[in-house]
């Protein structure tokens, strides 16, 4: 066994080092060369750029910059909100325009931009189909922009000059359809014809459940691994729970032929409340992949709010899942110990992703961390997650990080010790790895809080010059801050001490209902922050020459109400049967009857203490009979006026 473990870890270490070889070769040749071709930099989803030699704590303090200061150098106008992480390719040939360092950005308008990575000049801009208007989504779901187009982060295969992207197209103005495209990086045109997403799976009663694009949201970042492209699917606003279920699907990267097996996470044929889901959404975090067998990893969300249908076999909800690359086998699962509570109280484990730690010294297994809305981060044995069907205790450690619509990052310090970066509760925390047995994490420090009035948490990334002392920087983008302009902020902290190095407004996010799941991308002395209709580019520039941030004049307005309808926002104070008591922003209490909305699957399960958005009609007794019940942000600054 010892020999086998050593051999396996040699393979893993070689793979980890090899992931940076291409970038290292570019740097050696004199070309600025850290490519960012996938979400959070690598398939482990660490978010760590260990080849950053320009941006350091000293640089951000203006030391050794020849009079230049770190600032926003460009702001590039785009055609719609950006939910996807930008990607960077150095020394990229653009047809008819020579060679550039390029940043690729996808928007909800079904557009892809290729921009010069320094000047922001638009080199290419292609639009693929027509995005789906929010009025055509289940319940007019408005936790996205006014349209749903490209939401997930694409993935690039640098060896074949190909970008894979998932497009949501409103075909003929009537039919929402997902298409997987394989685009030439030089032209942004299709290399092979795109394929419409289709899938089916057997339910427990032998019937066939067919993929329904109209009720399926593709938010998790795409994964390229083992010669395949993978995508996870979720729901819109927790509506159409009778129809929507979570999927993980795959396609051959060379042909776009679908894999033979379609992975459905909830295969129950019946449910007490006809409420399914078990979605893969992870706040946009990417499905992960690692180890010599190339297993893939993802986290699932809630199912029936009764909390009684999770069985780890036919309903894999509130779980981290280890899956074979061909999607045929669930190798192991870790189901949150309080899964029933999470289902009952809308505390999705699946609001965060799974991050694989790089190989740790002296450890006989791969390790993984995952956290969700409840705020508990679990350190797990990634080679054998299973705790549900066997009763084995696979939890190596549990750490309170704060409620997390977010994902973790990782870096190795100058002492050779690995660190996990968390961002739950809007505070960055850095945890040092401690070798076992059993392995553990110890809190090193916490930073100052980052402003943000949407759901708690945000996404981070880390840059450093290898493990050179005092070069590490933790980057984070705060969510909409509740101000009139709904700014998002770029923040930088010392990865050594947690000291605040830099903070500034980096864009706007007028979409009050949808979290700004923005990942700051650091590469080659630049930082890229995509937000509402724009990309901010940060770097070293002459003092006084900073770019101007445009201000969003108005927030994204809600859709008109039908005659006689009303809409209120508030906080749930009590739930008794179908009656929901809501405290409005002025302190008054309103009784809401959610029965009709529930029967029509237009009710996202409410939770005491949390925000709610209700549309309906008042009856003679003053009860608001709901036709639609949606989750709202907890902060009143994120609520539209009642009407």
More confident residue, 95 or 8: 95
Domain boundaries, the chain: 11-541, 566-638
CA distance 399 to 421: 12
355-366 pLDDT per residue, tens:
999 999 888 789
pLDDT at 437: 84
Cβ–Cβ < 8 Å for 221, 155: yes
Q: What is the DSSP letter of 465?
A: B
pLDDT given for residue 364 in this prediction:
76
Comparing CA positions, the residue from 200, 180, 174 lying closest to residue 192 is 180
Asked if pLDDT for residue 21 goes beyond 90, the answer is no
Q: How far apart are CA 307 and CA 301, in angstroms?
A: 12
In 316-465, the DSSP E strands lie at 319-323, 330-335, 354-356, 367-370, 376-381, 395-400, 409-412, 418-422, 427-434, 440-449, 460-463
Q: Can you tell me the distance from the alpha carbon of 184 to that of 553, in angstroms, rounded to the nearest whole number?
A: 36
How is residue 384 written in tokens? Answer: 């054998």
pLDDT of residue 393: 65
The 10s digit of each residue's pLDDT in 258-304 is 999 999 999 999 999 999 999 999 999 999 999 878 999 999 999 99
CA pair distance 12, 359, nearest whole angstrom = 7
Cα–Cα distances in angstroms (integers) from residue 428 to residues 195, 405, 460, 502, in the given order: 40, 13, 9, 14
Residue with tokens 């979400």: 39
pLDDT at res. 307: 81
pLDDT (average), residues 221-242 = 97
The pLDDT of residue 551 = 78
Q: Using only the alpha carbons of the chain, give its radius of gyration.
A: 23
Peptide bond before residue 437 is cis, with ω within 30 degrees of 0: yes
- In this structure, how many other beta carbons lie within 10 angstroms of the beta carbon of residue 13? 13
Supply φ then ψ for residue 444, to 5 degrees: -90, -50
Given a cut of 90, whether residue 492 has pLDDT beyond it is yes
CA angle 430, 432, 433 (to 5 degrees): 140
- Tell me: the pLDDT tens digits for 139-167? 988 888 899 999 999 999 999 999 999 99
Residues 109-135 have pLDDT tens digits of 999 999 999 999 999 999 999 999 999
Span 11-541: which CATH code? 2.140.10.10
CB atoms within 10 A of CB 10: 12
CA angle 89, 90, 92 (to 5 degrees): 80
pLDDT at 556: 61
pLDDT of residue 16: 41
Question: What span, in angstroms and rounded, lies between the C-alpha atoms of 370 and 279?
Answer: 16
Residue 483 makes CB contacts below 8 A (sequence gap 6+) with: none
What class has domain 566-638? mainly beta
pLDDT (average), residues 43-65: 97
Q: How far apart are CA 233 and CA 280, in angstroms?
A: 5
d(CA 613, CA 329): 40
What share of the chain in percent tops pLDDT 90? Answer: 87
pLDDT at 97: 97
How much is the average pLDDT of 463-483?
97
- Whether the predicted pLDDT of 392 surpasses 80: no
Q: Could you give the dihedral angle defined by the CA atoms of residues 476, 481, 486 and 488, in that order, rounded to the nearest 10 degrees?
A: -10
* DSSP-assigned letters across all residues of 170-196: EETTTEEEEEEEEEETTT--EEEEEEE
């Amino acid at each position: 066994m010892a020999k086998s473990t050593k051999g396996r870890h040699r393979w893993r270490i070689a793979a980890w080092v090899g992931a940076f070889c291409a970038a290292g070769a570019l740097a050696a040749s004199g070309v600025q060369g850290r490519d960012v071709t996938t979400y959070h930099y690598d398939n482990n989803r660490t978010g760590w750029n260990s080849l950053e030699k320009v941006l350091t704590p000293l640089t951000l303090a203006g030391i050794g910059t020849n009079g230049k200061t770190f600032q926003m150098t460009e702001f590039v106008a785009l055609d719609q909100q950006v939910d996807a992480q930008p990607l960077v390719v150095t020394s990229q040939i653009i047809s008819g325009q020579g060679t550039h360092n390029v940043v690729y950005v996808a928007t909800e308008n079904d557009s892809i931009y290729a921009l010069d990575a320094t000047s922001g000049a638009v080199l290419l801009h292609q639009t693929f189909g027509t995005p789906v208007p929010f009025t055509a989504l289940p319940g007019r779901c408005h936790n996205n922009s006014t349209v749903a187009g490209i939401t997930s982060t694409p993935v690039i295969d640098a060896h074949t000059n190909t970008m894979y992207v998932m497009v949501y197209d409103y075909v003929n103005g009537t039919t929402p359809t997902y298409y997987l495209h394989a685009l030439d990086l030089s032209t942004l045109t299709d290399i092979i014809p795109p394929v419409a997403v289709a899938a089916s799976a057997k339910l427990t009663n032998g019937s066939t459940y067919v993929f329904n694009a109209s009720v399926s949201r593709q938010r998790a970042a795409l994964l390229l691994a083992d010669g395949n492209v993978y995508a996870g699917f979720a729901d819109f606003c927790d509506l159409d729970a009778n129809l929507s279920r979570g999927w993980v699907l795959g396609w051959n990267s060379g042909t776009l032929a679908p894999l033979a097996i379609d992975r459905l996470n909830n295969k129950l044929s019946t449910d007490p409340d006809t409420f399914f889901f078990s979605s893969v959404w992870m706040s946009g975090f990417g499905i992960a992949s690692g180890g010599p067998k190339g297993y893939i990893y993802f986290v699932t969300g809630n199912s029936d709010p009764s909390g009684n249908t999770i069985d780890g076999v036919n309903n894999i909800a509130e779980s981290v899942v280890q899956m074979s690359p061909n999607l045929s086998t669930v190798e192991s699962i870790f189901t949150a110990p309080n899964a029933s509570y999470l289902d009952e109280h809308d505390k999705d484990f699946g609001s965060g992703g799974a991050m694989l730690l790089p190989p740790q010294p002296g450890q006989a297994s791969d390790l993984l961390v995952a956290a969700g809305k409840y705020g508990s981060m679990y350190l797990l044995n990634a080679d054998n997650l299973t705790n549900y069907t066997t009763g084995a205790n696979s939890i190596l450690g549990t750490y309170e990080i704060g409620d997390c619509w977010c994902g973790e990052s990782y870096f190795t310090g100058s002492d050779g010790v690995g660190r996990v970066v968390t961002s739950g509760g809007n505070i960055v925390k850095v945890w040092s790895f401690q070798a076992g047995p059993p392995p553990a994490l110890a809190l090193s420090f916490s930073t100052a809080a980052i402003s943000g009035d949407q759901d708690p948490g945000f996404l981070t990334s880390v840059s450093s010059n290898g493990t050179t002392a005092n070069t590490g920087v933790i980057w984070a983008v705060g969510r909409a801050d509740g101000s009139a302009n709904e700014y998002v902020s770029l923040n930088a902290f010392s990865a050594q001490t947690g000291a605040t190095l830099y903070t500034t407004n980096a864009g706007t996010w007028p979409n009050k209902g949808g979290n700004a799941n923005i990942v700051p991308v650091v590469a080659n002395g630049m930082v890229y922050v995509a937000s509402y209709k724009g990309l901010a580019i940060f770097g070293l520039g002459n003092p006084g020459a900073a770019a101007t941030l445009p201000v969003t004049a108005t927030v994204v307005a809600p859709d008109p109400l039908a005659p006689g309808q009303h809409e209120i926002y508030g906080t749930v104070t009590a739930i008794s049967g179908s009656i929901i008591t809501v405290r409005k922003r002025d302190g008054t209490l309103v009784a809401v009857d959610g029965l009709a909305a529930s029967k029509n699957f237009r009710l996202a399960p409410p939770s005491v203490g949390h925000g709610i958005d209700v549309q309906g009609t008042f009856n003679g007794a003053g009860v608001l009979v709901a036709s639609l019940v949606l989750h709202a942000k907890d902060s009143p600054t994120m609520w539209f006026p009642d009407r």
